[in-house]
Amino acid sequence: MTFEEKVRSGAYNNPLPYSRSIQEVRDAYHAKEVELYDIFMDDLTAYLIENKVPEKYAHKVAAKAYSDGHGSGFSEVFNTALGLLEIFE
Give the pLDDT of residue 89. 82
Residues present in the chain in total: 89
Give the pLDDT of residue 73. 93
Provide the residue range defining the domain that includes 82.
3-88
The number of C-alpha atoms within 13 Å of 4 and in the hemisphere containing its C-beta is: 7
Give the pLDDT of residue 48. 97
Q: What are phi and psi of 11, to 5 degrees?
A: -60, -25
- Interval 3-25: pLDDT, tens: 999 999 999 999 999 998 999 99
State the total domains in the chain: 1
Arithmetic mean of pLDDT over the chain: 95
Outline where 1-89 has alpha helix (H).
3-9, 23-50, 55-69, 74-85
Could you tell me which of 43, 58, 46 has the C-alpha nearest to residue 88?
58
Report the pLDDT averaged over residues 37-55: 97
